[in-house]
Amino acid sequence: MKRLLRDRSALFGLVIIVVLVLCAIFAGVLAPFPQDVTTYHLPRRLLGPNAVNYFGTDRMGADIFSRLLFGARLTILIAVIATSAAVLIGVPIGLVAGYYNNRFSDLLMRVSDVFLAVPQIVLAIAIAQTLGPAIQNVILALSITYWPFWARLVYAETRSVRNEVFIEAAVALGASPLRVMVLHVLPSIASSVIVRTTIGLGGTILVAAALGFLGLGPPPPTPEWGRMVAESREFLPQAWWYAAAPGLAILLVVMGFNLLGDGLRDALDPRLSRGNDGP
Amino acid sequence: MAGFQGAAPLVRVRGETPLLPHPRRAADTDAMRLIAMIARRCLWMPPTLFGLLLIVFAVSHVIPSDPARIMAGENATADQVAAIRHQYGLDQSLPMQFLHYVDDVLHGDMGTSLFTQRPVAEDLIARLPATMELALYAMALAVLAGVPLGVVAALRRNTWFDHVVRLVTVAGLAMAAFWLAILLQLLFSMWLGLTPVQGRIDGWGPDPITGFFTIDAVLRGDWQTLFDAVRHLVLPTLTLALPAIATIVRFTRAGMINVMSSNFVFYQVAMGIPRHRIVWKYLLRAALIGTLTQIGLIFGNLIAGAVVVETVFDWPGLGSFAVNSILHSDYNAVMSFTVFAGVIFILTNLAVDIAQTLLDPRER
C-alpha cells in the first residue's frame, strides 16, 4: 500500500476513482440542477459554459454538469456489476480448468477461446441488439463477453503454481481439491486477478460507453455518457462543450482505473511487466 | 541411423561422410516439424468456427423468446411474424435450425437483409475493402510510429520524453474512440477546414481493381483522386491508430527494457559494436517478439474499433454497415456481421501464430 501511494501516477488514478465514487454517491447533493435528468427547459437550450451551467446546457436545456454527475452513478453501476459478474464466472472456470488436467478442463478453455475469437464489442453489440436497449441488457452483454479474459488469466496462473511445493504439501496432507483451489491456489494468484480487474473496469466503461454511443445503451433520458456524446453530434461545431464534457469524463475515469491498475501491478507483483492486454 | 556395418547409408550425398548428423536431414525434420506445427494450428480452425457459429446462433435464436418477432420488426402484424417464422424455418426444432444455419453459412449464404432485401454476404464482401484499407493504414501507422517511440522511450527512460510518451499512451488507451473522432472532426474539419468531415471520397471512387481507393488511384495514375482519398483517410486512420500506437509503444518499451539488461547486450557493448547497431538491430529484434504477439489482438481491435470510427466518419465499410443494421433493427445483418468479424479475427490470429512460429525459434 505504501509503495502504491509513493507511485504518483497510481495515486492520481486513485484520486480520480475516489472522486468518481463520491460524485456518484452524492450526485443528488452536488448537482446544481438534480431535476435536469428528466425535465427540460427549452429556452435555455445549448448555452455555452457559464457561471450557472459550468459545462453548458444540452439540446433540452438541461444542465450538462448535473447530468454528468448522475451519469457517474450509472457508469459505476454498469462497470462494477458487469465486471464482478465476469470475474465470478471467469475465475472459477479458470481455477477448475487450470487445477485439473483432463478433457473437461480442455473443453472449458476451448469454449473461452471461442469467445475470445470474437472482438468483444462486436459480440456485445450482437447481444445488446437482441435484448434491446436497457441497463440490465448492457450489463448482461458485457459480462458474457468479458468472463473469458479472467478464465484465461486464472487458468495460466493456476497452471504455473499447480506444481509448486506448497500445493503438493496441501494435497499430501489430504486437503480436498476444492480446499486446495480456494485456500491455496486462489490467494497466490489473487494479485494478478486484482490488477486485471482494476484495468478491466476501465475497459468495461469504454465498451459500455461505445454501446451507449451506438444507441444500444439505456434509453433516453438516461444520462449515459456515450449517449450524450452521440446526441451532441447534430449540434456541432457550435455546441462543442456538449460533445467535449461527457467524453472528458470517460477519459478521466478510464485513465483513473488504468493508472491505478498499473500502480497495483508494480506494487503487488514486480514480476509482471507493464504491458496491456485484455480488457 | 546408419544401419549395421557395411550397409549403405539411407541417405547419402556425394562427398559427405554419413558419420555426422546429416545437415540436410536435420533441416528437413525441422521443416517437417514446422509444417506439422502450422497444420496443428490450422486444425483448430474448424472447431473454433463451429463454436463461433454456435455462439452467434445462441445469441440470435436461443436468447430471444421469439426471434421471428424481432426479425419482423416492431410494427409487424401477427400474420407477418408467422410468415417470417415459417420462411426462416423458425418453427423447426433448435438443433435442426442450427444445422440449417451452419449449412447455409458454409455455402456462403448469410441470408437476406431485411432492410435492403439484398443478400447480406454480398453487402459484407462489397464493404470489406473500405474497412480493410482503413485498418491496414491504421496498422501501418501504429507500427511505424509505435515501435520507434517505444524504443526511444526505453532508451531515455524517466526523461521528459519518456514521460510525455507515457502520458500520450495512457490517454490513448483511455480515450473513447468515438470521442476522439468527434474532437478531430471538430478541430481539423469544422474549425480549420483542412479535411473533409465525412465519407471516403468526393463523388465516385476510382474504377475498382483492388477496391482500395488509394491503390486503385495510383494504378490508374489518377493523382487527383489519390489526393482526395488520402484527405478522407487521414482522420479515421489517426483515430483508429491511436489505441494501437499506445499498445505497441507500451509493449516495445517493456520489451526493450527487459532485453537491455541481458548478458548478450553487455557482451556486444564490450565487443565495441556501435551503439546504434546494437539498439536497432539486436535489441529491437529481441524486443519485438513480445510486440508481435499483440499484433493479432491489435488487428482484431482495429476491426472492432472500425464499428465506432466508421460511424462517426460515415465511412462505407463493415462497421457502418453493422451500425446501420442496428438502427434499422436488421437483425440478420447484425448477426452476419458478427460472424464475418469473427472469421476475420480468427484468420488474423492464425496468421500471427504462424508468423510467430516462423520467427521465434523458441516457439518450435
B114 touching chain A per CB within 8 A: no
Rounded Cα distance between A155 and A171, Å, is 19
Chain A hits for B337, Cβ within 8 Å: 122
Is ipTM > 0.95 here? no
Query: What's the pLDDT tens digit per position in B232-260?
Result: 898 999 999 999 999 999 888 888 888 87
Point out which residues pair with B246 in neighbouring strands: none
Other C-beta atoms closer than 10 Å to the C-beta of A151 total: 29
Contact pairs from chain A to chain B, CB under 8 Å = 162
User: CB–CB of B186/A240 below 8 Å?
Assistant: yes
- Within an 8 Å CB–CB cutoff, is residue A140 touching chain B? no
pLDDT number for residue B7: 43
Give pLDDT, residue B5. Answer: 42
Looking at residue B94, what is its pLDDT? 81
* Among chain A residues, CA nearest to B349: A117
Which chain A residues touch B318 with a CB distance below 8 Å? none
* Interface mutation target, options A125, A253, A262, chain B, most CBs of B under 10 Å: A125
| Alpha carbon separation from A224 to A84, A176, A220, A250, B312 (Å, rounded) | 20, 47, 8, 11, 18
Identify the bridge partners of residue B112 per DSSP, sorted by sequence position. Answer: B119
Nearest to A276 by CA among B283, B142, A261: A261
| DSSP state letters, B225-266 | HHHHHHHHHHHHHHHHHHHHHHHHHHHHHHHHHHHHTSHHHH
Residues of chain A with pLDDT under 70: 1-4, 269-279
Of A210, A255, A274, the CB nearest to B174: A255
Which residues, other chains included, contact A274 with Cβ-Cβ below 8 Å and sequence gap of 6+? A262, A265, A266, B250, B253, B254
pLDDT tens for each residue of B62-86: 776 666 777 776 677 778 788 877 7
Q: Three cell numbers at B156?
A: 531515455
**Contact (CB<8Å) B307/A214:** yes
Which residue blocks in B261-317 are alpha helix, DSSP H? 263-270, 275-277, 284-313
Instruction: Check if B324 contacts A (Cβ < 8 Å).
Output: no
> CB of A63 within 8 A of CB of A185?
no
pLDDT digits (tens, 9 = 90+) for A186-204: 888 888 899 889 989 999 9
Instruction: Determine contact, residues B233/B137, Cβ cutoff 8 Å.
Output: yes
Chain A CB within 8 Å of residue B282 CB: no
Predicted TM-score of the model (pTM): 0.83
Q: Which residues of B touch A215 (CB under 8 A)?
A: 326-327
The nearest CA of chain B is from the CA of A87 a distance in Å of: 20
Say if A259 is an interface residue toward chain B (CB within 8 Å). Answer: yes
Is it the case that residue B16 has pLDDT exceeding 50?
Answer: no
Closest CA to A206 of B326, B307, B163, B348: B307
State the average pLDDT over residues B204-210.
75
Q: What is the pLDDT of residue B78?
A: 79
Tell whether A115 is within 8 A of chain B (Cβ). Answer: yes
How confident is the model at residue A79, as a pLDDT? Answer: 92
Residue B339 is which amino acid?
V
